[in-house]
A = this chain, B = another copy of it.
Amino acid sequence: MPRRSQVPLEPRKSPVQARSAASVDAILQATIQVLLGVGKERLTTTRVALRAGVSVGTLYQYFPNKSALLQAALKRHLDEVTEAVELVCKTHRGKSLREMATALIKTFLQAKMKDAKTSVALYSVSSDVDGAKIVHQMSVRCNELIVQMLATAREPLSTDTQLVASMLQGA
């Protein structure tokens, strides 16, 4: 029997009360903690729920399946990085190219070094889940942001996208 090839991955409920939002947060945090603690092979939904201080049922109220849970954790992490990039892009408009570049690199390294283990753990997950898609989305997003910033640079430039790509490669 073939395993069901693709499963839903949208959240089941949107938290409306405060406590549910807290649960989602705890679950996402717990996911990374478990990932770091026992590795992805032994990460089980029950274990995550336990660590989050909720029951499995609660977990499944917000994440339709294990895969979606991992994707959500990955997405959240990347969102944080993207946010950092966004901040830098907005605060460096009208600066020189050199300034832009150094600031960007600095931000990336900071974000990655802050908790290198987490990054590695999540990266290892992204191959199992369809994490490539999520990573790609975020890289596209960052690209847009950077292009916007570059447009306001003092110097004119011809090849911007390639510069950007090389920056992203560093991550």
* Chain B: minimal CB distance from A129 (Å): 9
Residue of B nearest to A40 (CB): B128
Contact, CB under 8 Å: B3 / A128? no
Say yes or no: is A39 at the interface (Cβ < 8 Å to chain B): yes
Taken together as a complex, chains A and B put the C-alpha atoms of A72 and B42 apart, in Å, by 21
Q: Is the CB of B128 within 8 A of A39?
A: yes
Chain A stretch 10-69: residues in CB contact (< 8 A) with chain B: 39, 41-42
Interface check A152, CB cutoff 8 A: no
Q: Are B127 and A42 in contact (CB under 8 A)?
A: no
Secondary structure at chain A's binding surface: helix, strand, loop or mixed? loop
A41 contact from B39, B42, B128, Cβ within 8 A: B128
Asked if A124 lies at the interface with its beta carbon under 8 angstroms from chain B, I say yes
Q: How far is the CA of A56 from the CA of B26 in the complex (A)?
A: 42
Tell me, in angstroms, the Cα distance from A41 to B128 when the chains sit together.
7
Q: How far is the CA of A128 from the CA of B124 in the complex (A)?
A: 10
- On chain B, the residues within 8 Å of A127 by CB distance are 124
Q: Residues of B contacting A124 with CB < 8 Å? A: 127
Chain B, residue nearest A39 (CB): B128
Selected A-B contacts with CB under 8 Å, 4 pairs: A3-B42, A39-B128, A41-B128, A124-B127
For the complex of A and B, the 4 pairs showing the least CB-CB separation, nearest first, are: A41-B128, A124-B127, A3-B42, A39-B128
